[in-house]
């Protein structure tokens, strides 16, 4: 889906505790640093749908396992009406970059804690995002 990019990330093993890469300023699809924050999601709970009109998201899952579903409702998109699904965790360790204009929801898959880091291109601004109740788009 145009505007959705998965970039493999390295995990450097260390007997005292691993190093997990997240994002470099030279990484593909990096644009700008606005804000970094964590969002945790309980097992079986879903946060979404949310659409950002300006923010580029860079999502990394260092703890647990989270399923992301992206829905394309962009009027000029060749993939309008399509869904993109991916489950991220340390065993499928990728950075998920999402350009503005796409609907996103995510679900906690791991039975203990599930945490994502979002390194966003702009700071949080309540007016730049839209929310829609989960019931308005049927999950695939």
- 109 in Cβ contact with 67 (< 8 Å): yes
Considering the complex, state which of residue 32 and residue 133 has its C-beta at the smaller distance from a copy of itself.
Answer: 32
C-alpha dist (Å) from residue 137 to 4, 76, 94, 96: 19, 19, 26, 21
Site for a copy of itself in 94-133 (CB under 8 A): 108, 113-115, 117, 119, 123-124
139 near 69, Cβ under 8 Å?
A: yes
Query: Please, which residue, 74 or 95, has the CB nearer to a copy of itself?
Result: 95
Residue whose entry in the numeric block shows the structure tokens 């990394």: 60
Residue 120: its H or E element: strand 115-120
User: Please, which residue, 2 or 38, has the CB nearer to a copy of itself?
Assistant: 38
Q: How far is the CB of 77 from a copy of itself (least distance, A)?
A: 29
Binding mask 49-78 for a copy of itself (x = CB under 8 A): -------------xx---------------
């Amino acid at each position: 889906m145009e505007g959705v990019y998965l970039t493999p990330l390295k995990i450097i093993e260390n007997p005292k505790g691993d190093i997990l890469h997240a994002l470099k300023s030279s990484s593909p699809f990096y644009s700008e640093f606005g804000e970094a924050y964590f969002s945790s999601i309980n097992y079986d709970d879903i946060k979404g749908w949310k659409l950002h009109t300006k923010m580029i998201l860079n999502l990394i899952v260092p703890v647990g396992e989270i399923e992301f579903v992206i829905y394309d409702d962009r009027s000029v998109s060749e993939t309008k009406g399509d869904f993109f699904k991916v489950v991220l965790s340390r065993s499928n360790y990728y950075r998920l970059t999402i350009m503005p204009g796409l609907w996103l929801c995510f679900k906690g898959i791991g039975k203990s804690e599930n945490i994502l880091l979002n390194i966003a291109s702009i700071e949080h601004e309540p007016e730049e995002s839209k929310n829609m109740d989960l019931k308005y788009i049927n999950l695939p």
